[in-house]
Amino acid sequence: MRISKLAAAASLGVASLGLTACASSLHTEVSRYQAMPAPQGQTFVVVPDGGMAAYGGLEFQRYAGIVAQQMAALGYTPATDAKSANMVVQFGYGVDGGQVHVQSDPFYGGYGYGPYFGGRYIFPRYGFRSPYYYGWDDPFWYGYGGYGIDSWVEYHSQIELHIRANGTMQPLFDGRAQARSTTNRLDALLPGLIEALFTGFPGQNGETVRITIPPRSGQASRGATASR
């Protein structure tokens, strides 16, 4: 499974950063392939697939429960046991160890007009040449020692969901949701990734859409937004 490429998350130096990141919208990219039957009460069971979910356990059960809630809300029924389930829902997830990004602050020390300032070409942080211009998870910026240096850690997280017909293992759904963020906390990332994957479920076969999940912490939810 491709999610196995994701390493276990680094745990040092991100606690305070995660508190700030939790208040941000989560910008995700969702890919879906589907041949799902219309919901008519078919039963399902959620099982661990790959990545950090591979060994099951209490952590997996927590997030598998969110997946089960989404499936039930669509009209499918949780099975009493795996053998009686009509569908097997394979669920995996992971987050990498993060990558540190460092960039000089072009506005450090003053401001000016035009593209040149102080004899050097500058680009605004969120200008047309910024990789974050289109809202792909804008980073949180931190000065470094007062020298106009910005640095942040970017984490890549992902969930995968594969639904198979029990017995024949006929593919019914293959989906993936990815995000970039400044936190590696699963409790801040996975609920949003799951919500994104199930927004407009099962979607159009072969589609890739960007879905924004609004912040949950201390702010009213406005509902997910999607774009192709």
Sign of CA dihedral 128, 130, 136, 138: negative
pLDDT at 102: 81
pLDDT at 98: 83
Q: Which residues make Cβ contacts (< 8 Å) with residue 196, sequence separation at least 6?
A: 26, 28, 30, 177, 179, 211, 213, 224
pLDDT at 26: 93
Query: Do the beta carbons of residue 209 and residue 203 sit within 8 Å?
Result: yes
Q: Which of 104, 181, 111 is nearest to 143 (CA)?
A: 104
pLDDT at 17: 33
pLDDT at 109: 54
pLDDT at 215: 86
Q: Which of 220, 225, 213, 208 is nearest to 66 (CA)?
A: 213
**All domains of the chain, ordered by start, with CATH?**
2-98+152-227 (3.30.160)
Q: What is the mean pLDDT for each group of 10 consecutive residues in the chain (228 residues)?
A: 41 32 80 96 95 94 98 96 95 91 64 38 34 40 52 91 96 97 93 97 96 72 58
Q: Which of 187, 192, 190, 189 is nearest to 211 (CA)?
A: 192
pLDDT at 151: 80
